[in-house]
Structure 1
Amino acid sequence: MLGFKDIIGHEKIKEHLQKAIESDHVSHAYILTGETGMGRKSLANAFSMTLLCERGKSDPCMECHACKQVMTNNHPDLIFVTHEKPGSIGVDDIRGQINDTIMIRPYSSYYKIYIVDEAEKMTVQAQNALLKTIEEPPSYVIIMLLTTNQEAFLPTILSRCVQLKLKPQTDAVVKSYLMGSLGIKESRADIYAAFARGNLGRAIHLASSEEFQLLYSELLHMLKHLKEMDIMELLFYIKKMKDENLDIYDCLDFMQLWYRDILMYKVTQDINLLIFREEFNTMKEMSASSAYDGIETILKAIDKARIRLDANVNMELAMELMLLVMKEN
């Protein structure tokens, strides 16, 4: 478990939370919004550990009994709200784990902290039950709602919580972490960082994901030889992607980055601006043999395939139409 100083990025959110602790103006309810992997849990845990730390500073000492209890998930005043149904957090979950216990004072700390992960899954009834608690909580209670989508909350919940939205990291920050902490070589770190779009947790996952390595090798081979393949070979690749359960949106993102590099090199002739620098020779050849409008047509076809998939068009049909445009341009 990390302290504030160990969390990469999110400086404004860390500063806000630490200043609240220092000035003794901690709110009774917070909403932390961000994609999975962006650090919502790490921030909530660091905030909780700091509040419960026996030394009372703006960063947890990581050494006192309270900090050690938090790090081993054994602190009696830090409650993680759970739910049996994977798709929803019901009114009984909120009543049983928060409302019915909230008047019991903290066992060993000044604060009693409730963390609700996947809080966007709360039903309307559950939110209304929680609202009564948020409106008039005991002075020692802090409720933290962690979510990927705060639009799922009732306006009355939103208006009574401090809302903190996590922003993507820069590619440079993600790349630096991958190279420095995980020892990943620069050319691969560039790809993971670009693919993760500022989500450090996602970049770390990609670096160790066998599925992504498979996606990388399969798509790289197809894109490099696409012009030479006939339609039956392309259809085979579509079927292969489906059979191997590769995320089709990840495939589209990969293709978009590939053709973005071809366009970038055609415009700048600068290898340092490429994401796929390991494939420089192929990039050079493809940029020389491709027209500007042809590359732009391909990028639009990738966007169109994404739109078709969102509209529930058959995956194989959407991909076939896109690959035909790629082959023709």
Structure 2
Amino acid sequence: MSSFKDVVGHKNIIKYISSAVQADAVSHAYILNGERGSGKRLLANLFAMSLQCQNRAEDGEACGKCQSCKQAQSGNQPDIIKVTHEKPNTISVDDIRTQVNNDIVIKPYSSKYKIYIIPEADLMSAQAQNALLKTIEEPPEYAVIMLLTENAEALLPTIRSRCVMMKLRNIKDQLVKKYLMEQMEIPDYKADVCVAFAQGNMGKAIMLATSEYFNEIKEEVVHLLRNIDEMNVSELMDAVKKCMTYKMEINDYLDMIAIWYRDVLIYKATKNVDRVVFSDQLRYIKARASKSSYEGIENILDAIEKAKARLKANVNFELTMELLLLTIKEN
């Protein structure tokens, strides 16, 4: 685990956390809100480690060497609890009662605080949120709860109003590129492509830079979107079946389709080629911009977001992708 000094971006959040730790003015509940790969877990883990550190620096930074820090780095700090859930798309009321409510009444084993980190907090059922709300309203003085979420709006307003909200913003492209090239030794041209697709998301940029599937997915998306106009129903169904190959990386696949159509939208509106991510496909981007209406492009971008939501809700994969490709073809 790195230190706050090693985190790229999020300086305002780090400054806030450091000040809270230094001043011993820690809230009982926080929401870290940001898209997948934005650094929520890293910041929560570093925050927790700093709070529990036995030899903390004056600036609030954890020492990284004491027993508590070593335990935190290995995932074995007894007073830092990571809440888990068995059901893939739901955090149940039993998960919250067992791992938080029934446990939080027990005092910390060896630290000043008892910290609960709840990843994917937006997956909590209404009952689970209501159960947690009672604890957030009347927590023990040693308790700190961190809710990590991609969609804070999915949390009850009563929970949001009782938590300190920390929104993770996109990181500047030049900082992401610098990290990829200097820390990961990614060549210049590949770093440019990863940065363009990551859209300010460091976790995604790192994942793309190390993914053996990235170029393959990109080529598949380009082939599909260049030829979808001429595809008949049978060929469209074959394309849907081919999407199954990328089922585990389907969000990246859908993001690439979205970036293609954002390129089309940007070029159609501005004729500015400098902002086009698929710069090597400019001829096809221009052709699509001249064929599709603004409304048609917006319909496609909306359909991509709906497809993501349906897949997250476990709607049939082939049916979801079929509806999306038909929408793209029609617009």
> Which TM bucket (shorter chain)?
0.7 to 0.9
Cα RMSD (Å) = 3.2
Give the deviation of 1:102 after TM superposition: 1.8
Query: What is the match of residue 24 of structure 1?
Result: 24
Give the deviation of 1:83 after TM superposition: 1.9
Give the deviation of 1:243 after TM superposition: 4.6
Q: TM-score, normalised by structure 2?
A: 0.81
* Gap runs ≥5 in structure 1: none
Partner of residue 93 from structure 2, selected from 91, 94, 101: 91
Instruction: Write the distance in 1 (CA, Å) between the matches of 2:96 and 2:330.
Output: 52
1:68-217 map, 5 Å:
68-217=70-219
Is the contact made by 2:40 and 2:168 (CA closer than 8 Å) also made in structure 1? Answer: yes
Letter in 1 for 2:26: V
Deviations 1:9-28 (A, max 9, x none): 11111111110011111111
Query: What is the match of residue 2 of structure 1?
Result: 2
Instruction: Write the distance in 2 (CA, Å) between the matches of 1:219 and 1:301.
Output: 19
Give the deviation of 1:238 after TM superposition: 3.1
Q: Which has the larger Rg?
A: 1
Instruction: Write the distance in 1 (CA, Å) between the matches of 2:327 and 2:151.
Output: 33
**Identical aligned pairs, as a percentage?**
42
Question: Are 2:246 and 1:245 aligned?
Answer: yes
Instruction: Write the distance in 2 (CA, Å) between the matches of 1:240 and 1:86.
Output: 24
How many aligned residue pairs are there? 313
Letter in 1 for 2:42: S
Letter in 1 for 2:160: L
Give the deviation of 1:65 after TM superposition: 1.1
Q: TM-score, normalised by structure 1?
A: 0.81
Instruction: Write the distance in 1 (CA, Å) between the matches of 2:93 and 2:287.
Output: 59
Give the deviation of 1:317 after TM superposition: 6.5
Kindly tell me: are residues 315 and 110 of structure 1, through their superposed partners in 2, closer, same or farther at Cα, counting changes over 3 Å?
Answer: closer
Query: What is the match of residue 307 of structure 1?
Result: 302
* Gap runs ≥5 in structure 2: 311-318
Is the contact made by 1:249 and 1:306 (CA closer than 8 Å) also made in structure 2? Answer: no
Instruction: Write the distance in 2 (CA, Å) between the matches of 1:160 and 1:322.
Output: 42
Is the contact made by 1:99 and 1:133 (CA closer than 8 Å) also made in structure 2? Answer: yes
Instruction: Write the distance in 2 (CA, Å) between the matches of 1:107 and 1:60.
Output: 19
Instruction: Write the distance in 1 (CA, Å) between the matches of 2:221 and 2:114.
Output: 50
Give the deviation of 1:146 after TM superposition: 1.0
Give the deviation of 1:240 after TM superposition: 6.2
Kindly tell me: are residues 109 and 303 of structure 1, through their superposed partners in 2, closer, same or farther at Cα, counting changes over 3 Å?
Answer: same
Matched residue of 1:96: which SS? helix
Matched residue of 1:15: which SS? helix
Matched residue of 2:116: which SS? strand
Give the deviation of 1:73 after TM superposition: 0.9
Matched residue of 1:101: which SS? helix
Is the contact made by 2:221 and 2:257 (CA closer than 8 Å) also made in structure 1? Answer: no
Is the contact made by 1:31 and 1:162 (CA closer than 8 Å) also made in structure 2? Answer: yes
Structure 1 residue runs of 4 or more that deviate by more than 6 Å after TM superposition = 260-264, 311-314
